[in-house]
Amino acid sequence: MREFKVTKKSQYDALKEFISATVFYSLFIIFLLATLLLYYELKIKEITIILSCGLIPYVLYYLYPVVTIHLNYLKNAVYQVVALSQNQIKLDNINYISDNIKKIDVYASYIYFAGGNGTYYTAHEGTYYRVDFLLVSGERIHLSSLYGQDLYTYIKECFVNTPIIEHKLLFVPKYLIN
């Protein structure tokens, strides 16, 4: 039996690429601004324009998607412990066996399903995903990558006889748990 929890470490693992991209992007903007200040006498208005041109793409393509997805997953991380074993998932103190599960939907990027191979466009594509268990009763169980980056790997190993449908996503709203 393998247990998964939302911890500081699991959140850091999800945010690791975002943090790296932020540091790199910040250093690039500082280097660009320092180089321009060395060769040109820039006024405050010009510096503001340069910083705005650097920050707007960062906010739109890195900060907004990651913060939106991460906060949504934290809000929906209602289980203290998720335990997986063969044909069984235990959420806190409630057990579900594979006979009670109609299908499993996994929502992630093309990059995630390709094993991380390819070009990352944004920081969330390689690390964030969500898993929805559709029960026979019609109820849905929502889990996310904040429980652990290898959660989906264990789900595939534990539920080999349950249909698993992979949904390859392009846009941030599809990542969100409703």
Instruction: Tell me which residue of 56, 61, 141, 60 sits closest to 101, measured CA to CA.
Output: 141
Instruction: Tell me which residue of 7, 10, 3 sits closest to 145, measured CA to CA.
Output: 10
Could you tell me the strand order of the sheet in which 101-109 lies? Answer: 140-144, 130-135, 101-109, 164-169
Q: What is the average pLDDT across 39-50?
A: 87
Estimate the crossing angle of helix 8-39 against helix 64-75, to 10 degrees: 160
pTM over 0.95: no
With a cut of 80, say whether residue 172 has pLDDT above it: no
With a cut of 70, say whether residue 63 has pLDDT above it: yes
Q: How would residue 126 be classed by pLDDT, with cut points 50, 70 and 90?
A: confident
pLDDT tens-digit readout, 68-117: 999 999 999 999 999 999 999 999 989 999 999 999 999 998 888 887 66
